[in-house]
Structure 1
């Protein structure tokens, strides 16, 4: 309502699932994108598990703001 930018941090995720946009949570994130909206995601790893992140699980994370 104030016409100001807002950022919501959701540091959630896992190594489970197909990471192809078919999961309910991924579909919800997709619904939040669009012109004038930016979805910021972290690029991390699995902590002490030792696996490093690769291409983003959320395809729009590599895009530029519209």
Structure 2
């Protein structure tokens, strides 16, 4: 979870600059924010999907 939090905070910095640039154009602004939001969610989801494998192996190792 800490890695996902760090990645999302690193990704949100460029998003802030892009949204400031597109504030005058509302339709493009909404589309851009939606696409970036979906991209961030997909990145966090794929990261969290890859994380449990070593955690499961560690839990099995501790159980045995």
Per the TM superposition, whether the score is higher than 0.5 is: no
Higher relative contact order (CA 8 A, sep 6+): 2
Larger gyration radius, structure 1 or structure 2: 2
TM-score (normalised: structure 1): 0.29
TM-score, structure 2 as length reference: 0.30
Return the structure number with greater helix share. Answer: 2
